Amino acid sequence: MSFNSGAIANLVQTRLDSIVKEEFDYPSQPDEVESTDSLFFKQETFDKGSYVHEELQGPGQFNEHVEEQEVEEASPRSGNLVTTRIRKYARDIPIPDEVMEDAQLGAVEVETRLLARNARLASTDYAFRRSYGDAFGGADTPDGADLCSNSHTALSGDTVDNLETGALTAANLETVVRSLRRQRAQDGTLGGHTAAGLLVALNLHEDAFEITKSELAAATSDNQKNYWSNVYPNMRVGTSAFLH
């Protein structure tokens, strides 16, 4: 199929005075997260057909050392080899010369703009599908567990839990952040993780903003300071229609 005169006969003649153009302000929606967002999607350029990577274990915990004692040597190692095929998505609108010459009312320009817009939408759509959308079943990490799971296995043999299932409230957000700060690294040491962003579906966007950005504690009648806006003032709130 192609974008041809037979399919848009009314546009290559002079029967119409105007056409309805879609308007879509996707990139400017408040706190909207796209696939190019480096906080919620880790970015790395790559130009091959498959990406091969392993997880790296750190040097481990420092132990007490006394004078003239032989220094304990670390033995870092890697594991969990994963090969990921790079996916490609494409769509085209073949436009014959006759349409370019005869089309009225900017129809070719409109379709070209919408094609470019849909390319951006598709990039974000598939990014969410293959990460957060399948986080509880389908998007596996190198250790074979779901992205969000209470049974990740570190290279040290430790079990790491990054799964929380409570509804979004200030108290449950505190539970999540505490869990994040306690998570262990691949060598069993404290991972050093801290909360930098809160990604929610559209129906939770207002709640997330009130919990994290209000001057006083959200959903209470007390005049107590809001922990989140004071201790984590730079925490970004992100949302996406693709998570709704």
CA 228/CA 225 separation, integer angstroms: 9
- Please give the full DSSP string across 164-193, using - where no structure is assigned: ----S-HHHHHHHHHHHHH-B-TTSSB---
pLDDT at position 12 over 80: no
For residue 196, the number of C-alpha atoms closer than 13 Å in the C-beta half-sphere is 8
CA 149/CA 188 separation, integer angstroms: 18
Mean of all residue pLDDT scores within the chain: 87
pLDDT at 145: 93
DSSP 28: G
pLDDT at 25: 58
pLDDT at position 124 over 80: yes
Q: Give which of 189, 136, 201 is closest to 158, Cα–Cα.
A: 189
Instruction: Considering only residues 190 and 97, tell me which one the structure prediction assigns the higher pLDDT.
Output: 190
Per cent of the chain over pLDDT 90 is 60
Instruction: Considering only residues 222 and 182, tell me which one the structure prediction assigns the higher pLDDT.
Output: 182
Report the Cα 129 to chain-centroid distance in Å: 9
Q: Judge if pTM exceeds 0.85.
A: no
What's the whole-number mean pLDDT along residues 96-125?
80
pLDDT at 94: 86
Confidence grade of residue 138 (pLDDT, cut at 50, 70, 90): confident
Please report, for residues 41, 45, 55, 84, 125, the alpha-carbon distance to residue 48 in angstroms, rounded to integers and kept in the order given.
20, 10, 20, 11, 22
**232: helix, coil or strand?**
coil
Per cent of the chain over pLDDT 70 is 88
8 A C-beta contact, residue 140 and residue 146: yes
20-53 pLDDT tens trace: 666 655 556 889 999 999 999 998 888 999 999 9
pLDDT at position 215 over 60: yes
Please report, for residues 98, 154, 177, 190, 208, the alpha-carbon distance to residue 167 in angstroms, rounded to integers and kept in the order given.
57, 28, 14, 27, 11
* Nearest-10 Cα torsion for 212, 215, 219, 221: 160
Instruction: Considering only residues 238 and 107, tell me which one the structure prediction assigns the higher pLDDT.
Output: 238
Tokens of 225: 């300071």
pLDDT at 134: 84
